[in-house]
Chain A
């Protein structure tokens, strides 16, 4: 409880941390964004959630994973986050092979779609969880608290720091999730359905925030998305999955055409001035 006031030590990142961040940036410039080699995963024997996916995306900063329900979008994201271990194949994100370990956590921040919060968990304590993964008993330092408040401010939620997370609205909660991911200070954010279930205003706010993170801070984002227009207008690269298999991947504007969308989702759509609209009969 008194962690915030008591720890005044270390208000700057260590030289090791700075070097690590510089190394990250260098590597990001030279390696291809995402490489999947024969990645497959099955929750149960016999039913593959993902079937030998091969894919190389040389470039990209804001990638969306799209597809119908049950296509394996979230599964792929969880594999990228190191939560699930693929049954076969290798995954490389920014040149680093993903395996479930502490290193993955230090480089890729995962934002879940939903969490069951324990009671009485304050926003600031939740955000601080981003900083304490490597400590022995979960103690925080002054620098960690500073970083946590900075990220809350970045998403515009600093006024909620002392509130119970479970009392926040859906939009606020999503922003707090993002703040936690930002506090992790990783070059890549992996986000599961950032704007699903949110109202129009919150959708806009969060998408703008994500875009500014990409543009101004050079972060890379991989997000599972449902809204075709969001993907078309906000993200630069798309992976389209269907039934656990890769259907298409590439530039958003090239992949998301009425033809491919019709084939993947089984719905007739048309392009109206750059907006994808279902064709009503």
Chain B
């Protein structure tokens, strides 16, 4: 992964030799930031453009992967992904509102779009919580249905808004394709604490998932407080996916494919599964973004397109593998 990261930092519109990248990074780490004029281009490219983008790709990849793992365990369904509870639709709605209402200026160096989409995603999770709070004995299938319906509802609202504001359509559609190209250090630093909090929360709830994956009754029979555990898991998973969406837009498939790959590699123990899917997710998105910015230099392909393009064959392979086994 370190190697891919270095490669990532060196490639782009301006190609910078690896040695130069290492040099710049070394200087940056040792807080000796004064460099000669000939190196200023490399310094700017590596530190101000590529490093935030790299970090964003890593965080988003890892974050989406672990929240995907959590949702799949929670819903006992390997097709669940971070957006199952309508988080992405909420984020898109937030982004749409920001663009239509003209809040492109933000605070703390963050764009209005980032803040609005984060708010939208969190708001959606909050609605799911309210419903969960009202229906305390709801089964996982019910929660899944609520999430999917909410997804459709919010998408319909977005479509309606777009219908009346056609001039903004392009930027919104572009945002829904997902990209980490616009990442800045401020955005990454804003996302980091939420991501760390959510990830730790998920990691320390991993035992709940081991039992919930075998059904509610099984979990109850093993003394797992099912309602509380589910609440906690959805809270942390939504937090993580909300942050990811606000950082990069809707990046599909990472949250779906990487947990499944990890499951094949390390089995069903969620404590280990979380670690592996986090790493795999980081690697997956890093590679996807590397391809996104190098395939059609100087143009860039939105990363959401590439993840799906890579993700679908991998996923087809998975389905093929499992179709030969009897369950």
Q: A116-B214, A133-B211 are in contact. Are A1 and B221 (CB under 8 A)?
A: no
Interface status of A117 (Cβ within 8 A of chain B) = yes
Known: A120-B264, A133-B207. A125 touches B269 (CB 8 A): yes
A83 x B322 contact (CB < 8 A): no
**With A105-B222, A110-B221, A119-B322 in contact, is A138–B271 under 8 Å at CB?**
yes
User: When A and B form their complex, what is the total count of cross-chain residue pairs whose Cβ atoms lie within 8 Å?
Assistant: 86
Q: What is the total number of residues of chain A having a CB less than 8 Å from a CB of chain B?
A: 36
Chain B contact residues (Cβ within 8 angstroms of A): what range?
20 to 34
Q: Are B268 and A118 in contact (CB-based, < 8 A)?
A: yes
Q: Does A132 contact B (CB under 8 A)?
A: yes
Beta-carbon contact of B223 and A120 below 8 Å: no
**Complex CA–CA separation, A49 to B115 (angstroms):** 51
Residues of B whose CB lies within 8 Å of any CB of A are 76, 78, 203-204, 206-207, 210-211, 213-215, 217-218, 220-224, 263-264, 266-272, 322, 325-327
- Which stretch from A30-38, A56-64, A96-104 is at the chain B interface? A96-104
Known: A133-B207, A136-B204. 8 other contacts (CB 8 A): A102-B223, A104-B223, A121-B214, A129-B222, A133-B211, A134-B223, A136-B207, A137-B207
B223 touches A106 (CB 8 A): yes
On whether A138 and B207 interact (CB within 8 A), knowing A102-B223, A115-B218, the answer reads: yes
Query: Can you report 17 residue pairs joining A to B where beta carbons are below 8 Å apart?
Result: A3-B269, A81-B221, A82-B221, A112-B217, A119-B78, A119-B268, A119-B322, A125-B267, A125-B269, A129-B210, A129-B214, A130-B222, A132-B207, A133-B207, A133-B223, A137-B203, A167-B326
**What A residues does B267 contact at CB under 8 A?**
1, 120-122, 125
**CB of A166 within 8 A of chain B?**
yes
Q: How far is the CB of A19 from chain B (nearest CB, A)?
A: 20
What is the CB-to-nearest-CB distance from B325 to chain A, in angstroms, rounded to a whole number? 8
Inside 8 A of A92's CB, which chain B residues have their CB?
none
In contact, B223 and A112 (Cβ under 8 angstroms): no
- Tell me if B217 and A83 are in contact (CB < 8 A): yes
Contacts of A167 in B (CB 8 A): 326
B314 → A minimal CB distance (Å): 17
Q: Report yes or no: A1 in contact with B266, Cβ–Cβ below 8 A.
A: yes
Asked if residues A112 and B207 are in contact (CB atoms below 8 Å), the reply is: no
Q: Report yes or no: A78 in contact with B217, Cβ–Cβ below 8 A.
A: yes
Residue of A nearest to B208 (CB): A138
Contact B207 A119 (CB under 8 A): no
On whether the beta carbons of B327 and A119 are closer than 8 Å, the reply is yes
Residue of B nearest to A103 (CB): B223
A136 to B268, CA, bound (A): 17
The 10 closest A-B pairs by CB, nearest first: A105-B223, A102-B223, A138-B207, A110-B221, A83-B220, A137-B271, A133-B222, A118-B213, A121-B268, A137-B206
Residues of A within 8 A of B206 (CB): 137-138
> Are A83 and B221 in contact (CB-based, < 8 A)?
yes
Residue pair B270, A112 in contact (C-beta under 8 Å):
no
Q: Let me know if A139 is at the binding interface, CB within 8 A.
A: yes
User: By the criterion CB–CB under 8 Å, are B211 and A129 in contact?
Assistant: yes
Q: Report the Cα distance A121→B213, complex, angstroms.
A: 10
Report chain A residues within 8 Å CB of B213: 118, 121
